[in-house]
């Protein structure tokens, strides 16, 4: 009989600790009926009934809708569609100059000089 009583005490203490930690960790928006501190006192003072009351009445259900996430402008296709690249005329001229120099370098490598 003592073993059964000891096992029952262990189960009640474990359940009370679970309910207390759950009460302290759940987001504030899910705490229902009473303030969080009142639920903590109820769970501790009215063990194990306080834990059962917390799970049945105090803890609100999770919503089925996903939370609304803030979207950065680089993730918004509507915003990205309004952006036009700003072209600098100097960049075009610089790019043409680089392409010309690269073509000259390619020509030199394709036609090695025989004067060596």
Closest CA to 32 of 71, 67, 59, 63: 59
pTM assigned to the model: 0.54
Q: How far apart are CA 105 and CA 107, in angstroms?
A: 5
Query: Model confidence at 116, in pLDDT bands (50, 70, 90)?
Result: very low
Q: Which residues contact 12 (CB under 8 A, 6 or more apart)?
A: 47, 48
List pLDDT tens digits, range 2-53.
Answer: 999 999 999 999 999 999 999 999 998 889 999 999 999 999 999 999 999 9
Task: Answer yes or no: are the C-beta atoms of 23 and 43 closer than 8 Å.
Answer: yes
């Amino acid at each position: 009989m003592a073993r059964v009583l000891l096992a029952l005490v262990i189960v009640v203490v474990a359940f009370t600790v679970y309910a207390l930690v759950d009460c302290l960790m759940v987001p504030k928006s899910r705490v229902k009926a009473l303030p969080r501190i009142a639920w903590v006192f109820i769970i501790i003072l009215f063990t194990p009934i306080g834990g059962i009351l917390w799970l049945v009445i105090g803890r609100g259900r999770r919503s089925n809708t996903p939370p609304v996430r803030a979207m950065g402008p680089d993730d918004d296709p509507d915003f990205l569609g309004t952006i036009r690249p700003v072209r600098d005329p100097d960049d075009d001229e610089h790019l043409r100059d680089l392409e010309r120099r690269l073509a000259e370098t390619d020509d030199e490598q394709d036609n090695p000089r025989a004067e060596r």
